[in-house]
Structure 1
Amino acid sequence: MEFIALAQSLARSAGALILSRMGEQVTAEEKSSAFDVVTQVDKDCEQLIREGILSQHLDHEILGEEDTFLAQKSLEEVLSAVKKDTYLWIVDPIDGTSNFVQGIAGFTVSIALAYNGELLLGVVYDPSCDEMFSAVKGEGAFLNGKPIHVSNKTGLHTSVIATGFPSQMDARLAVYNGLGKLIHECRTIRSLGSAARHLAYVGAGRLDGFWENGLKTWDVAAGVLIVQEAGGQVSDTNGNSYSLNTLHIVSTNGLVHESLLDCLK
């Protein structure tokens, strides 16, 4: 697909911009709460990606995390306003802003493209280690151009599961409840600070599963397609199929999906 090269190029450019600002005195501004922050680097990266897309595809729509917040519109409002038969780019310029602010590696650039609500491509780029995860619908998933596949673990007791801690307190409490149950069932639990990175790692077989409540489309869209194209499974916490409106994500290698869902009920 012609769009994947554009997505990868823009992700690399945004990653280079982020790395160039590492070590600077970065001010983290609160958004919806003290747990939800943004920096000028987030805004600059989103603008870079937006301009890059519109310079080649002026008729495409863009759903960016920072622009959506500034417009004070809900995700549902933005998605419902997107016209049918329109390409929609879904952008998270820095997924893992708290990692970036703290100087911790593991933040990512996430770019996806959807058409009529169906994901067509996804790119998750980790500039700290120059890892480009990508997928095009029907063509498989890749890491730096090499095919990847989900793990073959069949039980939670041997699985490494990841989660994150969302900014909304009710969603955060739901994650804590899941932790209380899951800690007795799986080998160990990790939290790497970026939902997109967690999903990419499920696709690459580094993690066997991931769940988190209260996520938005820009956090997960690219990673969802990477997992699916790598042979994994993605649903909401009730087991329903993923859609762009899904807020509570469960992603696994497919083999431990039902077991993970049972723990989270």
Structure 2
Amino acid sequence: MLNLNIALEKVQKWALETGEIQKEYFKKESLKIDIKSTGVDLVTEVDKLSEKHILNYIKDHYPLHAILSEESGKSDIESDYLWVVDPLDGTTNYAQGLPIFATSIALKYKNEALLGVVYAPIVDQLFVASKGNGAYLNGEKISVSTKKDLNKSVIATGFPYDRAVNEDNNANYFAHFVPKVRGLRRMGAAAYDLANVAAGSLDGYWEINLSPWDIAAGQLIIEEAGGDVLFLKEKRGISLIAGNKAICQKILKEIEYVDNRL
């Protein structure tokens, strides 16, 4: 039987160590960058180094567990336990020399998240949650924002990698929300966005066509911080809204309004 407290301690250590790797290579002119699906979908040598570092730990400590990671995909092992890893969320920011990026690690059991860790090394923010035990930022308990009005809220979003070739690219929703909120942010790292919703630094968030590794840790951290995550199942990929109950419903109402106008 897995000891959740010990596992959480290990994962925090792995995330912090991975952050040191990322800091070591950050803004190096010799950084190797490759293109994946499109010209805006990048992978760097640090994505791969970060993933290798984390996956080696998982294989050493939990060799019978399955793994799903952004760069390596799904492992061959079949298990009720699944580690979901985004070794470097915000690769474009990283490659550009912008300090907003993070490592995201989650552990699921029978598709239910047991623990989640998101670490942003340059700003030194470690977001941590385990099932039923609350959410924390650098050891301090956190909770989602209590704001209920969009015009008083700062919310975040992002855009899919295929935005240049797919009309379902979030641009219509983005334009609609601009005059309706206090501030609209596009930070370029979904896991970090979700973690900041959990901490109340962002009042809400929506995005379309995400992947499991983008949200696995962040979803649990939000829920343990008293927030909601609503999935837009009619949209492509993983599309969701996050925040407190009231803000989630108001974001949903505006998205439905835009959809009904199309």
TM-score greater than 0.5 by the shorter chain: yes
1:116 aligns with 2:121: no
Instruction: Supply the AA of the counterpart residue of 2:159.
Output: F
**Corresponding residue SS for 1:66:** coil
Q: Which residue is equivalent to 1:21? A: 25
What is the CA-CA distance between 1:180 and the residue it aligns to? 1.8
Structure 1 CA distance for aligned equivalents of residues 167 and 21 of structure 2: 31
CA distance in structure 2 between the aligned counterparts of 1:246 and 1:152, rounded to whole angstroms: 29
Deviation track 1:142-175 (CA, whole Å, cap 9, x = no partner) reads 0011100001101111111101122022667431
- Aligned counterparts of 2:202 and 2:27: Cα–Cα separation in 1: 30
- Aligned pairs, how many? 250
Whether the 8 Å CA contact 1:106–1:192 is kept in 2: the answer is: yes
Q: Which residue pairs with 1:6 in the alignment?
A: 10
Contact 2:226/2:244, CA 8 A, preserved across alignment = yes
Change (3 A) 1:264 1:82: farther
Q: Which residues in structure 2 correspond to 1:246-261 (within 5 Å)?
A: 247-261=238-252
* Cα contact 1:166–1:214 (8 A) shared by 2: yes
Which residue number in structure 1 is paired with residue 184 of structure 2? 189
Alignment of 1:147-226 (within 5 A): 147-169=141-163, 173-226=168-221
Preserved CA contact (<8 Å) 2:162 2:169: no
Structure 2 SS opposite 1:226: helix
Deviation at 1:82, TM superposition (A): 6.9
The 1-side partners of 2:132 and 2:199 are apart by: 17
- Partners in 1 of 2:249 and 2:77 — Cα distance? 33
The alignment partner of 1:213 has SS state of strand
Counterpart among 85, 91, 100 of residue 85 in structure 2: 91
| 1:54 maps onto 2:59 in alignment | yes
The CA deviation string for residues 71-124 of structure 1, in whole angstroms up to 9 with x for no partner, is xxxxxxx59x874x5211000010000111111101000000001111111000
* One-letter amino acid of the counterpart of residue 190, structure 1: R
State which drifts further: 170-179 or 93-102: 170-179
Q: Matched residues in 2 for 1:142 and 1:37: separation?
A: 30
For the residues of structure 1 that align with 2:45 and 2:169, how far apart are their CA atoms? 31
The 1:172/1:124 distance shift into structure 2, 3 A limit, reads farther
CA distance in 2, matches of 1:172, 1:99: 24
- TM-score of the pair, normalised by structure 2: 0.90
Provide the aligned C-alpha RMSD in A: 2.0
Q: With structure 1 as the length reference, what TM-score do the two structures score?
A: 0.89
Q: Contact conserved, 1:171 with 1:213, CA < 8 A, in 2? A: no
4+ runs deviating over 6 angstroms: none
In structure 2, how many angstroms separate the alpha carbons of the residues matched to 1:128 and 1:198?
15
Shift of 1:254: 1.9
| Counterpart residue number, 1:102 | 96
State the shift of 1:239 in Å: 9.3
